[in-house]
Copies of this chain bind each other. A is one copy, B any other.
């Protein structure tokens, strides 16, 4: 099938760009030095491809649905729920299935009790500067002690410097990572275990303490991360159709919008055009300044680059893998929801 025959809006992945991204990361952080983050693509077919080509077997998940789906797909060798959960029943059912080795992040006595009720391994999640989950570094040892007293295997620590990963100044980013990892080092001393899990796409090559980096965006990339000048190419776009324009209008409209694009990083980009605004199922665009002012025709297909990949993918059912204009595979986005 040709990409121009896809029903639009369609998520399209440039397979050569994807594979180059996989290869670049696998050289920098081979095998277990990377724990690819499933939340960035939410597709077991994609995870299998990353495992096969990149040689990474341990994965990171943000939701129980992602963990369950990865286990069902036979990708459960080492799954980390890099997030806190209070759902002991569901976690226990996951363990009882026996098709996955599951580790969960804990940052409170309550989440330790949930892990204990389910009998999963844990990482102590440490606040290293992002005001989100994670215990204070000085509380990590006590939490590990509690976990061990409840019979749990404490594999180590995790600490996500999410406040640093998007900083476009590499030196500043490195400084922030260093500060965060000093906190995580202290916590790791108190906690013990083999694993120090940290980082993301923006800081993948700025870690020495971390035994594994949790990166996912490097696979597909987006316009937001593009500002960081990383050696990863944008591999994801939407293919959309021009549904309205005319010589008398001065603008055009394509059939993607707020329900097919994650909008928290702002508007998407339409290469060659200037995006005006998005509504539910529309994006209005105008000619760029300095151009010839001509608009594409009704029925033309255009590429649209989302500003934020992760919440964009979560709106879609399918990833269409393309080489040039040929659709060579279709992967379900089968890990959506919770």
Contact = CB atoms under 8 A, between A and B. Distances in A.
Nearest to A243: B84
Interface string A76-88: 0000000111110
Given A39-B280, A83-B281, A86-B298, A262 B258 contact: yes
A338 B9 contact: yes
A337 interface: yes
A314 B162 CA distance: 27
B162 A279 contact: yes
Contact of A132 (B131, B136, B284, B317): B284
A9 B311 CA distance: 15
Interface in A85-100: 85-87, 90
Contacts of A297: 110
A86 B263 contact: no
A249 interface: yes
Contact of A258 (B241, B244, B255, B308): B308
Most buried by B among A8, A264, A310: A264
Copies of this chain, tallied across the complex: 2
Given A263-B262, A264-B263, A244 B107 contact: yes
A331 interface: no
A188 interface: no
A251 B310 CA distance: 25
The A interface is mostly helix, strand or loop, or mixed, namely: loop
Given A258-B308, A280-B311, A311-B280, A110 B263 contact: no
A127 B251 CA distance: 12
A27 interface: no
A5 to B, nearest CB: 10
Q: How many interface residues does chain A have, given as a range?
A: 35 or more
Interface in A170-203: none
B241 A62 contact: no
A133 interface: yes
Contact of A87 (B7, B107, B264): B7
A20 to B, nearest CB: 25
Contacts of A262: 258-259, 263
A16 B62 CA distance: 34
A127 B332 CA distance: 38
A249 B136 contact: yes
Contact of A133 (B134, B244, B258): B244
15 contacts: A8-B338, A62-B280, A84-B253, A85-B243, A86-B241, A131-B284, A132-B279, A133-B244, A133-B282, A135-B246, A139-B246, A259-B314, A262-B263, A263-B263, A280-B310
Interface of A: 7-9, 39, 62-63, 83-87, 90, 107-108, 110-111, 127, 131-136, 139, 162, 241, 243-246, 248-249, 251, 253, 255, 258-260, 262-264, 276-282, 284, 297-299, 308, 310-311, 314-317, 337-338
